[in-house]
Amino acid sequence: MKRAWQRMLSGRRLDLLDPTPMDIEVEDIAHGLAFVARWNGQTHGDYAYSVAEHSLLVEDLFARMSPGIAPRWRLAALLHDAPEYVIGDMISPVKAAIGPDYGALDDRLAAAVHLRFGLPAQIPAPVKKQIKKADRVSAWLEATQIAGFTAAEADRFFGKPDPLVIAGCAIRPQPPRAVRAAFVARHNALLAQF
84-116 pLDDT, tens digit per residue, is: 999 988 877 787 888 788 888 999 999 999 999
129 Cβ neighbours under 8 A, 6+ residues apart: none
Q: Are 65 and 134 in contact (CB under 8 A)?
A: yes
Q: What percent of the chain has pLDDT over 70?
A: 99
**Measuring CA to CA, how many Å separate 172 from each of 87, 144, 157?**
25, 12, 22
End-to-end CA distance of the chain: 42
Question: Which residue ranges form the domains of the chain, and what is each CATH number?
Answer: 14-191 (1.10.3210.10)
Which amino acid, 67? P
Cα–Cα distance measured from residue 65 to residue 180, given in angstroms and rounded to the nearest whole number = 25
CA 8 to the chain's CA centroid:
18
pLDDT digits (tens, 9 = 90+) for 112-144: 999 999 999 999 999 999 999 999 999 999 999
Burial of 82 per CB tally in 10 Å (0-12, 13-18, 19+) = buried
